[in-house]
Chain A
Amino acid sequence: MNREAQWEVVIGLETHAQLQTKSKIFSGASTAFGAEPNRQACAVDIALPGVLPVLNREAVVCAIKFGLAVDAAIAPRSIFARKNYFYPDLPKGYQISQFEIPVVLGGGLAIRVGETEKFVHLTRAHLEEDAGKSLHEDFHGKTGIDLNRAGTPLLEIVTEPDMCSSAEAVAYAKALHSLVTWIGICDGNMQEGSFRCDANVSVRRPGAPLGTRREIKNLNSFRFLQQAIDYEIQWQINEIEEGRKIQQATVLFDPDTGETRSMRSKEDAHDYRYFPDPDLLPLEITPAWIAEVKAGLPELPQAMQQRLQAEFGLSPYDAAVLTAQRAVADFFQKTVALVGTAQAKLVANWLQGEVSARLNREERDMADAPISPEQLAGLIARVADNTISNNIAKKVFDALWNGEGGDQANAADQIIEKQGLKQITDSGAIEKIIDEVLAANQKSVEEFRAGKEKAFNALVGQAMKATKGKANPQQVNDLLKLKLGS
């Protein structure tokens, strides 16, 4: 029996999604990324005496959108609390967060690992402010503090301990990432820290009570999330198998070593002495406000998946891939609208094939692809009407991608025209070429007549080569069979 089978892994995720607002959650300072240190930290953010927080309406709208998108309950009245701890990048000595009554309760997300679907339940999502940044580089033995990030609005999204492998945790994180960017509440930029995960990991023998968990903090890429969890699982199993107890702890993942290491003991760390913040009154969210926000929500990925299957006959897999990112879904719909519903499957194939491969290779997002829906539609139309073959279409696609056809909608036509790529469908012309090929490849012909099927393919290849790939492959096949009398 292998070792993994003797252990059950339990994972819960806490994700901080930075909300896309122009100003901070409790002050009018800008949230733009990349400013010089402390240029976007106002009196409220640096906690000068006498200042008071005033809640940003848009941050609440983001929370409502999220609640609606995950089918959660939205609290008609929620409360802000102070989470007390001391750290220099937290100038007030407390973080304003929500504790007893968060704005979003329950709900969940469907995830898919391979062929298996699973529903991850959410415990809650609450609004809070981010802290500043500590820079530990050498400032003559001191620490530098940048408070630009202090007060940036965050939605902390907490799952139930529903996941049981790093693959599930990553699938959930990706689904959540896709959703928050889809509904436009978070830009999802993980490098800039707009979307970061904390993973609570424990292991137990099957059927045993929950083990003691350790929390891996601040994972800002899906790869680190997976690596950190896998390392942590092995580490905990080793500890227990060697007779040691797991101590509850907060750990950091070091991407250079691939290991997790303990950050602080939990002795004091979890004694945050939460209490309602007397500076802030209860947040009231009326049914009318929720209805207003709901009316402004885009079609959600799950609903769109259903519709794409019903409307265009796509497979569940295709529908899921196309709705993993809003930009891809938009691109798909625009292209289909131009080229016609009958070509929807072809459009889906192109997006999941050539387009996605090029984007991956160049590490680009759909949003900044160098090809427009109009251009892709123009190309697919020529495949659909047999002007060019699939193989030639790939050539044209490369040219489009490299900007050779210019940025016009008819760029594909121009490339086909200029490079003379039109498919040869004139059977007389193809017949002539086949005759030449047969004459030049007597050996293959004899082999074929002797029963060697492969020789036929070699002849098709020669014919295609002679037409520089422009002949219709099916037509070549048919004519060749005819000529060989088979």
Chain B
Amino acid sequence: MLLNTQDISRIARLARIELSDAENAATCDQLNGILGFIEQLQAVDTTGVEPMAHAVDVVQRLRPDVATEIDRREAFQAISPDVEAGLFLVPKVIE
């Protein structure tokens, strides 16, 4: 499967990344290169091999259900560009 520059524009928009035409072309080449590697991998016969969801074959460690975190709002909001009444303020979003 090969990507074209339209695909790249769409992926960039979904990722909220702005690309110039030159960057788009370069990204397109790079991504297609990666897809080329994947095509090689796909040539391997994996019949009967269970797909792995993670590179390491171990399972998730679980945490007991205890509230351990303390309130650090002041520290977190000290590094935020805009706050009011305990809220983080962001440019207006209305759907």
Listed in ascending order, the chain A residues whose CB lies under 8 Å from chain B are 21-23, 27-32, 36-43, 46, 48, 54-60, 77, 79, 84, 86-88, 101, 134-136, 139, 141-147, 263-264, 268, 271, 273, 276, 278, 280-284
Contact = CB atoms under 8 A, between A and B. Distances in A.
A143 B93 CA distance: 6
B73 to A, nearest CB: 5
A187 B90 CA distance: 32
B18 interface: no
Nearest to A142: B89
B34 interface: no
A36 B90 contact: no
Nearest to A37: B86
A154 to B, nearest CB: 15
A276 B60 CA distance: 13
B90 A88 contact: yes
Contacts of A84: 14
B78 interface: no
B87 A37 contact: yes
Contact of B64 (A42, A57, A86, A139): A57
A43 B70 CA distance: 10
A408 B34 CA distance: 77
B94 interface: yes
A264 B94 CA distance: 11
Q: Which secondary structure characterizes the binding site on chain B?
A: loop
Given A38-B88, A144-B85, A29 B67 contact: yes
A278 B54 CA distance: 6
Contacts of A271: 14
A215 B82 CA distance: 35
Interface in B52-69: 53-56, 58-69
A22 B89 contact: no
A42 B14 contact: no
B66 A23 contact: yes
Contacts of B72: 42-43
Contacts of A29: 67, 69
Contact of B67 (A23, A38, A141, A280): A23
Nearest to B77: A38
Chain B CB within 10 A, most for which of A58, A144, A147: A144
Contact of A144 (B62, B64, B89): B89
Q: Which secondary structure characterizes the binding site on chain A?
A: loop
A56 B63 contact: yes
B95 A264 contact: yes
Contacts of B86: 36-39, 146
Contacts of B21: none
Contacts of A32: 67
B69 A282 contact: no
Contacts of A283: 59-60
B61 A54 contact: yes
A101 to B, nearest CB: 8
A143 B95 contact: no
A137 B73 CA distance: 21
A28 to B, nearest CB: 3
B91 interface: yes
Contacts of B58: 281
Nearest to B88: A145
A135 to B, nearest CB: 6
A134 B93 CA distance: 9
Given A56-B63, A263-B95, A273-B14, A145 B89 contact: yes
Contacts of A79: 53
A41 B73 contact: yes
B73 A39 contact: yes
A386 B82 CA distance: 73
B84 A144 contact: yes
Contacts of B54: 276, 278, 281-282
Given A57-B62, A79-B53, A284-B60, A38 B87 contact: yes
A141 B93 CA distance: 10
A263 B95 CA distance: 6
Given A28-B68, A42-B69, A87 B62 contact: no
